[in-house]
């Protein structure tokens, strides 16, 4: 089992300081599943490669190890326990070795090169045979959102015979990342892609996952799949991990939607491939994006502002449609905007797409003339983050000053919360929510704002409209009254706007 990490950062041999392993000599460490060796096949000023080689002891793996799956009971004596891929393919076993051998490196500290440890440097990771359920596409899904360029090709079952592809993938990752981040990505990726953890998954695994996933897992588009696979499809642990992930990033309400929707976290039946589970409900966040996009399309909007865009949940979908010629994301949180820029990979975005996007820091409770003159404004899951006494200021800034032709507002329907098995009675969906409205409360706010500011309004459910408690999300689409072309915003003189 082999994994190599290469850098071309000069002097490349500094990699030794970041990995806490001297390039001049090979080191061997005994780990629970065999012996791990770290050696440097090349170590020059311009290029340095560290190799982690795990020599698995298949007998040790089966015998005398309490807590291993198959370590007891009749299955422990089947031939398959001795003759299998474990010694050869990179799998969860390699993650155990990596976790152990590079424990200090994963914490991102280096006595000799403290600054370099915190600096992204050019890296190349190679895994000649990675065990991967879901194949090359799954490798891409895992690593690409983390900033890696992924080159993954399936390994054929037999080069001579035409037997098709094996479950192994040859992987080459390139990117500019901190070494600690790269190691933590791999530490989580190996068991997740392998998807057959060899050891018993205990509640401590949740802590391990969250520690290794700090700073990237909460925002990963496949965080739920990753969490579920990492925790070996133990539903209760996965739910616990998802709830804690949601707390990590309080600008992201979607994570909690995922964690609380019971059907989303149910473990797939044995043998079912979670890449294509047929009846899996669409996540609420995606339904919301779809509903907002549909409303924008039907309004014929071209220049769109996403107010309270957060870390950019909606922005990629907006940019993906050329009909939206200008997309502006606004948020009060600089951190959220930085995160949005990172997630959108702004630095690598093609020029033509980049030109259509702007990210602005600003507060929606202050009249902001930069936001005037757009076709549509989206307030997706934002109003409930404001203290109720700040809402009139937002109403003025959006409906009187910015005054776009269309305003789309979504917000949780609090009545629906009883359908979330994991949400205690009376608890809101997100700890930063200042309130959550019933359908009636939302409707009355919407009607009042519309009639005070000269808009017509339609209310629409998002998600399954439960006959008793209504849909999970309420949406309102405001349309500026046809007599009003927006040129003279009510209650505001032109001077305020320009
Ligand atoms: N629209 C995004 C994010 C919703 S979370 C989505 O649906 O995923 C709410 C966002 O509103 C947070 O990013 C928060 O920073 C932002 N926000 C809260 N109060 C704000 C204010 N006064 N002005 C601008 N943004 C605000």
Cβ–Cβ under 8 Å, residues 372 and 400: no
Q: Which residues have a Cβ under 8 Å from the Cβ of 191 and sit 6 or more positions away?
A: 91, 92, 95, 197, 229, 230
pLDDT of residue 233: 78
Domain boundary among 180, 200, 220: 200
Residue 486 within any structural domain of the chain: yes
pLDDT of residue 459: 96
293 and 191: one domain?
Answer: no
Residue 271 within any structural domain of the chain: no
Position in ligand 1 atom list of the atom nearest CA 306: 1
What is the distance, to the nearest Å, from the Cα of residue 140 to the centroid of all Cα atoms in its chain? 14
Spacing, Cα 397 to ligand 1 middle (Å)? 15
The domain total for the chain is: 2
pLDDT of residue 246: 67
- In order of 4, 271, 454, 461, the CA distances from 421 in angstroms are 44, 26, 41, 21
Position in ligand 1 atom list of the atom nearest CA 333: 15
Pairwise CA distance, residues 7 & 14, whole Å:
9
The domain that contains 484 carries what CATH number? 3.40.50.150
195 and 291: one domain?
Answer: no
Buried b / exposed e across 148-178, counting CB within 10 Å, b at 16+?
bebebebbeeeeeeeeeebbbbbbbbebebb
Query: How many CA atoms within 13 Å lie on the side-chain side of 387?
Result: 2
Domain boundary among 147, 172, 200: 200
288 and 434: one domain?
Answer: yes
333 pocket-lining for ligand 1 (C-beta < 6 Å): yes
55 and 180: one domain?
Answer: yes
Pairwise CA distance, residues 247 & 92, whole Å:
27
Whose alpha carbon is nearest atom 23 of ligand 1? 363
Q: Give the Cβ contact number of residue 67 at 10 Å.
A: 10
Residue 311 within any structural domain of the chain: yes
177 and 288: one domain?
Answer: no
Spacing, Cα 331 to ligand 1 middle (Å)? 6
302 and 447: one domain?
Answer: yes
310 pocket-lining for ligand 1 (C-beta < 6 Å): yes
Buried b / exposed e across 326-346, counting CB within 10 Å, b at 16+?
bbbbbbbbeebbebbbebbee
pLDDT of residue 61: 57
Spacing, Cα 364 to ligand 1 middle (Å)? 9
Residue 210 within any structural domain of the chain: no
Spacing, Cα 253 to ligand 1 middle (Å)? 10
351 and 473: one domain?
Answer: yes
Q: What range defines the domain where residue 130 resides?
A: 2-200
3-state secondary structure the chain: CEEEEEECCCCHHHHHHHHCCCCCCCEEEEECCEEEEEEEEEECCCCEEEEEEEEECHHHHHCCCCCECCCCCHHHHCHHHCCCCCCCCECHHHHHHHHHHCHHHHCCCCCCCHHHHCCCEEEEEEEEEEECCCHHHHHHHHHHHHCCEEEEEEEECCCCCCCCEEEEEEEEEEEEECHHHHHHHHHHHHHHHHCCCCECCCCHHHHHHHHHCCCCHHHCCCHHHHHHHHCCCCHHHHHHHHHHHHHHCCCCHHHHHHHHCHHHHCCCCCCCCCCCCCCCCCCHHHHHHHHHHHHHHHCCCCEEEEECCCCCCCHHHHHCCCCCCEEEEEECCHHHHHHHHHHCCHHHCCHHHHCCEEEEECCCCCCCHHHCCCCEEEEECCHHHCCHHHHHHHHHHHHHHHCCCEEEEEEEEHHHHHHCCCCCCCCCCCCCCCCCECHHHHHHHHHHHHHHHCEEEEEEEECCCECCCECCEEEEEEEECCCCCCCCCCCCCHHHHC
Query: How many CA atoms within 13 Å lie on the side-chain side of 353?
Result: 14
Spacing, Cα 139 to ligand 1 middle (Å)? 32
Domain boundary among 200, 229, 248: 200
The domain that contains 173 carries what CATH number? 3.30.1610.20
172 and 41: one domain?
Answer: yes
295 and 166: one domain?
Answer: no
Cβ–Cβ under 8 Å, residues 360 and 305: no
386 pocket-lining for ligand 1 (C-beta < 6 Å): yes
Cα of first residue to Cα of last residue in the chain, in angstroms, is: 65
pTM of the full predicted structure?
0.52
Instruction: State the 10-residue block means of pLDDT for the chain, 498 residues long.
Output: 93 96 92 89 96 81 46 42 52 86 92 92 94 90 94 75 70 96 96 76 82 88 91 80 61 36 32 32 79 94 97 92 95 92 87 94 94 97 96 97 97 92 80 93 98 96 92 96 64 37
365 pocket-lining for ligand 1 (C-beta < 6 Å): yes
pLDDT of residue 163: 56
Residue 320 within any structural domain of the chain: yes
Residue 233 within any structural domain of the chain: no
41 and 165: one domain?
Answer: yes
Residue 294 within any structural domain of the chain: yes
310 and 450: one domain?
Answer: yes
Q: Output the six-digit token pair for 408.
A: 């789309």
336 pocket-lining for ligand 1 (C-beta < 6 Å): yes
Q: Output the six-digit token pair for 51.
A: 């190799």
Residue 409 within any structural domain of the chain: yes
168 and 291: one domain?
Answer: no
């Amino acid at each position: 089992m082999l994994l190599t990490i290469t850098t071309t950062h000069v002097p490349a041999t500094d990699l030794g300081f970041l990995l806490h392993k001297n390039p001049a000599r090979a080191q061997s460490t005994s780990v629970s599943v065999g012996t791990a060796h770290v050696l440097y096949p090349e170590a020059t000023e311009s290029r340095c490669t560290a190799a982690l080689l795990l020599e698995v002891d298949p007998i040790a793996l089966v015998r005398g190890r309490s807590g291993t799956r198959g370590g007891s009971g009749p299955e422990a004596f089947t031939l398959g326990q001795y003759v299998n891929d474990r010694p050869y393919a990179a799998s969860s076993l390699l993650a155990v070795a990596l976790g152990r051998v590079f424990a200090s490196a994963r914490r991102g500290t280096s006595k000799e090169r403290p600054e370099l440890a915190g600096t992204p440097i050019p890296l190349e990771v190679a895994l000649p045979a990675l065990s991967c359920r879901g194949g090359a596409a799954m490798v891409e899904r895992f690593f690409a959102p983390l900033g890696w360029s992924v080159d993954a090709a399936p390994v054929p079952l037999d080069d001579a015979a035409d037997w098709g592809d094996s479950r192994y993938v040859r992987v080459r990752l390139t990117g500019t990342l901190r070494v600690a981040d790269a190691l933590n990505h791999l530490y989580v990726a190996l068991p997740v892609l392998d998807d057959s953890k060899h050891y018993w998954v205990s509640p401590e695994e949740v802590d391990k996952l969250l520690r290794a996933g700090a700073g990237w897992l909460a925002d990963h588009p496949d965080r739920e799949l990753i969490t579920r696979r990492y925790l070996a499809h133990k539903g209760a642990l996965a739910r616990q991990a998802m709830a804690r992930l949601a707390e990590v990033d309080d600008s992201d309400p979607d994570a909690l939607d995922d964690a609380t929707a019971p059907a989303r976290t149910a473990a797939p039946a044995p043998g079912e491939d979670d890449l294509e589970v047929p009846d899996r409900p669409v996540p609420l966040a995606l339904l919301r994006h779809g509903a907002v996009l549909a409303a924008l399309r039907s309004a014929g909007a071209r220049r769109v502002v996403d107010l309270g865009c957060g870390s950019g949940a909606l922005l990629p979908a907006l940019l993906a449609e050329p009909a939206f010629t200008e997309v502006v994301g606004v948020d009060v949180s600089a951190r959220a905007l930085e995160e949005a820029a990172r997630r959108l990979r702004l630095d690598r975005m093609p020029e033509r797409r980049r030109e259509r996007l702007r990210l602005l820091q600003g507060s929606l409770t202050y009249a902001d003339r930069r936001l005037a003159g757009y076709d549509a404004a989206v307030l997706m899951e934002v109003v409930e983050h404001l203290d109720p006494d700040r809402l009139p200021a937002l109403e003025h800034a959006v409906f009187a000053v910015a005054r776009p032709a269309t305003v789309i507002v979504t917000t949780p329907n609090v009545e629906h919360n009883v359908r979330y098995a994991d949400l205690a009675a009376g608890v809101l969906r997100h700890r930063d929510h200042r309130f959550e409205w019933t359908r009636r409360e939302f409707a009355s706010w919407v009607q009042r704002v519309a009639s005070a500011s000269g808009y017509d309004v339609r209310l629409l459910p998002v998600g399954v409209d439960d006959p008793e408690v209504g849909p999970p999300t309420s949406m309102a689409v405001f349309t500026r009254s046809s007599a009003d072309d927006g040129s003279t915003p009510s209650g505001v003189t032109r001077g305020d706007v320009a």
